Amino acid sequence: MHDVATEVTLVVVVGILLIGAVATIANRIGVAAPLLLVLLGAVIALVPGSPEIVVPPEVFLTIILPPLLYTAALRVPAVDFRRNLRVIGYLSVVLVALSALAVALVLQSIWPVIGFAAALALGAVVAPPDAVAATALGKRLGLPPRVVTILEGEGLLNDATALVLLTTAVAAIERPGSSEVEGAALVGDFALAVVVALAVGLVVGYATVLIRQLAGDRAIDTAISIATPFVSFLAAESLRGSGIVAVVVTGLVIGNRSQIRIRATRRAQESATWSTFSVIVENGVFLTMGMQLPAVITAVDEGERHLAGVVAVGLLLCAVLLAVRLAALPPLLAWLRHHAGRVQRGHARLAERLDSVDTSTKRGARLRYAHIVRGHDITALRDQRLGWRDTLAIGWAGMRGVVTVAAVQTLPADTPMRAELVLAAFVVAIVTLLVQGGTLSFLVRALGVGKNASDRRRAELESLVGEAIDAGIEAMRREAEVNGIDEMIVEVASERMLARRDWAAHVAEVDPDDPSTDVAQISRLRHVAIEAERVWLDRVRRTGRFDSSTVAVAQRIIDREEIGLQADEDEH
- Domain with residue 435: its CATH number is 1.20.1530.20
CB < 8 Å & 24+ apart, contacts of 172-177:
172/117, 173/115, 173/117, 173/118, 173/121, 173/411, 173/412, 173/414, 173/415, 174/412, 174/414
- Regarding whether 188 and 265 lie in a shared domain, the answer is yes
Q: Is 61 within 8 Å of 247 (Cβ atoms)?
A: no
How many other CB atoms are there within 10 angstroms of residue 273's CB atom?
14
pLDDT recorded at residue 572? 47
Euclidean distance between CA atoms 350 and 342, whole angstroms? 12
Euclidean distance between CA atoms 452 and 447, whole angstroms? 13
- Regarding whether 64 and 104 lie in a shared domain, the answer is yes
- Regarding whether 474 and 417 lie in a shared domain, the answer is no
- Regarding whether 137 and 237 lie in a shared domain, the answer is yes
- Regarding whether 473 and 429 lie in a shared domain, the answer is no
pLDDT recorded at residue 454? 55
How many other CB atoms are there within 10 angstroms of residue 365's CB atom?
13
Whether 159 is covered by a domain: the verdict is yes
Whether 363 is covered by a domain: the verdict is no
Residue 304 DSSP class = S
Q: Which of 448, 467, 488 is the last residue of a domain?
A: 448
- Regarding whether 503 and 463 lie in a shared domain, the answer is yes
pTM attached to this predicted model: 0.72
Dihedral class, residue 242 (left if φ above 0, else alpha if ψ from -120 to 50, else beta): beta
Please state the length of the chain.
572
Range of the structural domain that residue 555 is part of: 454-571
Whether 374 is covered by a domain: the verdict is no
Residue 408 DSSP class = G
Q: Is 534 within 8 Å of 558 (Cβ atoms)?
A: yes
Euclidean distance between CA atoms 221 and 210, whole angstroms? 11
**Buried (b) or exposed (e) across 370-404, using 16+ Cβ within 10 A?**
ebebbbbbbebbeebebeebbbbbbbbbbbbbbbb
Q: What is the DSSP string of 386-405?
A: --HHHHHHHHHT----HHHH
Q: Which of 448, 471, 487 is the last residue of a domain?
A: 448
pLDDT recorded at residue 95? 92
HSE-CB of 260 using CA atoms within 13 angstroms: 16
- Regarding whether 471 and 407 lie in a shared domain, the answer is no
Whether 505 is covered by a domain: the verdict is yes
Euclidean distance between CA atoms 443 and 439, whole angstroms? 6
Residue 410: which of 111, 59, 106, 67 has the closest Cα? 59
- The dihedral formed by the CA atoms of 406, 408, 409 and 411, expressed in degrees to the nearest 10: 140
Q: At 242, is the secondary structure helix, strand, or coil?
A: coil
Whether 46 is covered by a domain: the verdict is no
- Regarding whether 466 and 441 lie in a shared domain, the answer is no
pLDDT recorded at residue 508? 46
Whether 464 is covered by a domain: the verdict is yes
Euclidean distance between CA atoms 508 and 403, whole angstroms? 53
What Cα–Cα distance (Å) separates residue 226 from each residue in 71, 73, 115, 239, 269?
A: 10, 14, 41, 22, 12
Residue 410 DSSP class = G
Residue 502 DSSP class = -
Q: Report pLDDT digits (tens) over 96-140.
A: 999 999 999 999 999 988 888 889 989 999 998 875 555 555 556
- Regarding whether 537 and 422 lie in a shared domain, the answer is no
Q: Which parts of the chain sit beneath pLDDT 50?
A: 1, 500-505, 507-508, 571-572
Q: Is 422 within 8 Å of 314 (Cβ atoms)?
A: no
Q: At 280, is the secondary structure helix, strand, or coil?
A: helix
Whether 9 is covered by a domain: the verdict is no
What is the tally of structural domains in the chain?
A: 2
Q: Is 310 within 8 Å of 424 (Cβ atoms)?
A: yes
What is the maximum span of the chain, computed from C-alpha positions, in angstroms? 88
- Regarding whether 337 and 300 lie in a shared domain, the answer is yes
Q: Which of 430, 448, 466 is the last residue of a domain?
A: 448
- Regarding whether 532 and 428 lie in a shared domain, the answer is no
Whether 320 is covered by a domain: the verdict is yes
- Regarding whether 459 and 438 lie in a shared domain, the answer is no
